[in-house]
A = this chain, B = another copy of it.
Amino acid sequence: MPSDKRRVEPRRWPSQVRAALTRERILAAAAHIFAEQGYAAGTTNRIAEHARVSIGSLYQYFPNKDAILAELLLRHIDEELDEPPATALEPAVRAIVRRAVDHHRDDPQLLRIMVEEAPRLPALIEKIERYDRARVAQVRALLAGLAEVRVADLDTAAQLVVSTVEFVVHKEMATAGGIPPERLEAELVAMLTRYLRG
């Protein structure tokens, strides 16, 4: 009877918690391998191996490979969309730029894969487009509230700001010999601020 107690207590973790952790391990492994090797080269076998689960287990947590990238992308999107402060023009632009830079600091390689590969997966296209429109609308609203802003067309300006920040930061942070982050922030802020002042 005392021996029974021993067997019962440390037997296993609560299965839901363990399952969630396994899921996380798979996602982390996928993020790592997609970032290192690209989406196509990041095979489910390699992901499973790196996460130290079998390929069979992987497919118990995700219906297919695309779903893994989809979840990584959606988490990423959810993190990023919160209102920047509407004060003066220069600090507002700085906030937008800085967020993009910080954001890419984490894992520029993975972001690269998501930016490039996700728009090809039909299941994600619409979500990405909605997200893009939301960002442009957000920036548009921000600019609309600032007296300093003097541009002919606010819609175009918002689109250009979002594209410029996203793609230029993306490029420079992902490139080895790119502009260092602090300087990149300063230059982009200068460029966009002058543009928006008209």
A194 within 8 A of B: yes
Q: How many copies does the complex hold?
A: 2
Contact-residue size bin, chain A (C-beta under 8 Å from the other chain): 20 to 34
Asked if B179 contacts A172 (CB within 8 A), the reply is: no
The dominant DSSP class at the A interface is: helix
A40 within 8 A of B: yes
Asked if B163 contacts A168 (CB within 8 A), the reply is: yes
Contact residues in B for A192 (Cβ distance below 8 Å): 191
Asked if A156 contacts B168 (CB within 8 A), the reply is: no
Contact residues in B for A71 (Cβ distance below 8 Å): none
Residues of A within 8 A of B (CB): 38, 40, 116, 120, 153, 156-157, 159-160, 163-164, 166-168, 170-172, 178-179, 183-184, 187-188, 190-192, 194-195
